[in-house]
Chains A and B, each alone.
Chain A
Amino acid sequence: MPRFGFAALCAALLLCGAAVGTAQAEESGTPPLPNEQWSFGGVFGTYNRAALQRGFQVYKEVCSACHPVKHLYFRNLTEIGYTADQIKGIAAQYQVVDGPNDQGNMFKRPGRPSDHIPGPFPNDEAARTANNGGLPPDLSLIVNAREGGPDYVYAILTGFTEPPKGFHLTPGTYYNEYFPGHQIKMPPPLSPNQVKFADGTPATVPQMAHDVAAFLTWASKPNLEAQHRIGFKVMLFLIIAAGVFYAAKRRIWSRVH
């Protein structure tokens, strides 16, 4: 009977999970997210440095026109395979506000690796004014901040279609299959060959979307590789320790039974 009860409990948990899943999909009225293959998926997943660098290029040349990556420093880019000199060069292309100087004035200077990557707007109000009232969200946590993570980012970037017949699109919005309510203020950001990848990868829209979603996953989860690496060792240790303690338990308890 307790066995039956436990089985019933497990079955009920599974049913609940399924019910919650379907309820969420129905509620937002969006199709299920595409299931992209990510190099960082799975237990041993790691980031593909080439893809992250292509993704950074897409962010820099396209997304950064409106979206900041508030939590990233230039120095973080060493983690996606850039050398210290390359990063100095990248940072120097940006002007950052510093100060006050000895006269009490703020001034601009070229960026340094220790600076935050500057965003396109000085504040949220300026961002709204420039974007028809919409606030382009910070992208350095976007993968953590959306259900579906990288799949969602990929889906939004590739999900712009013609609205179905009879759908009333508010002026200033664009139809996107995967956006809740379908009306997004972001114009379709990617078009074929919009960027030119140094490694010769063809810049198709799905390719750019995939790479920038990978880059943004790294921006949200910079420790994913360390997590996977350390996690594996910890689990291995615990499995061995469990075996040892189980054997010790059997041996010690054999005196009682």
Chain B
Amino acid sequence: MAATHHGNQPAADTSPPASLPAGGHNRIIRWIDYRLPFVSFIEHETTAYPTPKNLNYWWNFGSLAGIMLIIMIISGIVLAMHYVPSGDHAFNSVEDIRRDVNFGWLLRNIHASGASMFFIVVYIHLFRGLYYGSYKYPRELLWMLGVVILLLMMATAFMGYVLPWGQMSYWGATVITNLFSAIPWIGQYIVTWLWGGFTVGDPTLNRFFALHYLLPFVIVAVVGLHLIALHRHGSNNPLGIEHRGPQDTVPFHPYYTVKDLFGLCIFLLIYSVFIFYATDFLMNPDNSIPANPMVTPPHIVPEWYFLPFYAILRSVPNKLFGVTLMFSSILVLFFLPWLDTSPVRSARFRPWYRVICWLLPLDLIALGWVGANPPAGVVVTIGQFATAYYFLHFLVLIPLIGKFERPKPLPMSIGEAVLQAGSHLVPSGSTERR
């Protein structure tokens, strides 16, 4: 089964000869594989998996996100062996981890700054999908599963932030759970149900711990579906055209394993700066003060990765409307494959979409700034404009530009485009990007 794939790979020399079944000469592996085709599965999905040969470094972030998930789960499980989910002990148990558990400080820094790194990676991965139109036919479900993963990550990160039981943990939990009180009639009952009491307290902390341990494994399952959907039609690529045969692809291993490993080293270098040197940079000082229901911090701010959504929430004075807008800002992503009316995927061939695609992160940065500052004066106005623009982008600009934009001509095939770019640019020694 794997053999048919090997026949047309340019790097077939790294795999067993095409005539051999999976497992090569090893009889035991052949025996197992005949009954449980694990080795053929791995070979089919990695060694032989045909990948477009023109993927750029933006495509590294998918595997980085998967690695971050594994790092978070492993460090989290070890932390959970020392953590005590109780209002009286949670804060002190985190301090004991930092001070008295062997390399506890390292685990804790890996996990705490890991959350931020995970979101950076996933946001870049998401932007890559937006820019190169990876959400379009036939990858709509692949995209939607990604949005499900994002939502699960947000829930997991929010509950994880509550666990150290510092001031910002407690008050962040209070503000965010209170959002559900905006639901008409039954809101207050739902909030009491979520809390397991009449304020955020011990029952809340305990259930958040249980869910914070559970949800990452749900994410693993959805990531599995995400990968199945990905391998059905293969990766999109910077040109946004389908590959038309072996001349357009290379096997995933070794070509993209080595490229991903190089990218991983660079990523871990940046991550290490936060683990070993800039530990305070991503931490709110208020969270080094134990949770105190009697003292409200002057500014309750969520972690940076939630700031744009927090700004959208606060952009309207009506609580219910604000909450609806905030959730819609993520939910709108589910509809993107149908909101975008253009048949062309890659922004490289879409002069107008390319401009608004870069404006979106600028808008989100503006929203993030608004979310970090107290809502007064010009901050509110900027927040309202930026919120309006966010929805304008998805609900108006994307459908309209798809209709009226005239895309540039697409190359016939990936192989042709790579060759052309190569022949153009050999004298100047530049990259394929014009």
Contact = CB atoms under 8 A, between A and B. Distances in A.
A71 B357 CA distance: 49
B219 interface: no
| A-side interface size class | 35 or more
Contacts of A76: 99
Given A1-B354, A16-B369, A228-B276, A245 B258 contact: yes
Given A227-B276, A227-B279, A141 B269 contact: no
B105 A20 contact: no
A50 interface: no
Contacts of A27: 374
Contacts of A141: 95, 288-289
Nearest to A43: B277
A198 interface: no
Interface in B272-295: 272-273, 275-277, 279-280, 283, 285-286, 288-289
B259 A249 contact: yes
B220 interface: no
Given A16-B368, A241-B265, A227 B258 contact: no
A13 B365 contact: yes
Given A252-B254, A255-B11, A256-B255, 7 more contacts: A2-B354, A19-B369, A71-B92, A145-B286, A145-B288, A223-B98, A230-B106
- Residue from A147, A149, A234, A249 having most chain B Cβ neighbours under 10 A: A249
Contacts of B255: 252-253, 256
B362 A226 contact: no
Contacts of A220: 288
Interface in B358-378: 358, 361-362, 365-366, 368-369, 372-374
A140 to B, nearest CB: 8
B216 to A, nearest CB: 24
A257 interface: yes
Interface residues of B, number: 48
B277 A231 contact: yes
A109 interface: no
A222 B289 contact: no
Interface of A: 1-2, 5, 8-9, 12-13, 16, 19-20, 23, 27, 43, 71, 76, 137, 141, 144-147, 149, 220-223, 226-228, 230-232, 234-235, 238-239, 241-242, 245-246, 248-249, 252-253, 255-257
Contacts of B98: 222-223
A202 B354 CA distance: 65
Nearest to B362: A12
B53 interface: yes
Contacts, number: 111
Nearest to B105: A223
Contacts of B269: 235, 238-239, 242
B369 A238 contact: no
B250 interface: yes
Contacts of A12: 362, 365-366
Contacts of A257: 422
Contacts of B254: 252
Contacts of A5: 354, 357-358
Given A9-B358, A249-B259, A228 B11 contact: no
Interface string B231-262: 00000000000000000001000110011011
A197 to B, nearest CB: 27
Contact of A255 (B10, B354, B369): B10
B262 A242 contact: yes
A257 B273 CA distance: 35
Contact of A144 (B10, B105, B283, B365): B283
B379 to A, nearest CB: 9
A256 B272 contact: no
B380 to A, nearest CB: 14
B272 A235 contact: yes
A19 B372 CA distance: 11
Contact of A230 (B258, B262, B265, B276): B276
B10 A245 contact: no
Nearest to A223: B105
Contacts of A235: 269, 272-273, 276
A222 B249 CA distance: 52
Contacts of A9: 358, 361-362, 365
B268 interface: yes
A149 B276 CA distance: 17
Contacts of B27: none
A245 B365 contact: no
Nearest to B289: A145
A147 to B, nearest CB: 5
B175 interface: no
B266 interface: yes
Nearest to B361: A9
Contacts of A232: 276
Contacts of A252: 254-255, 258
Nearest to A5: B358
The 10 closest A-B pairs by CB, nearest first: A231-B276, A5-B358, A242-B265, A145-B288, A144-B288, A245-B262, A223-B105, A249-B258, A245-B261, A16-B369
Interface string B34-45: 000000000000
B354 A23 contact: no
A233 to B, nearest CB: 10
B272 A234 contact: yes
B433 interface: yes
Contacts of B285: 144-147
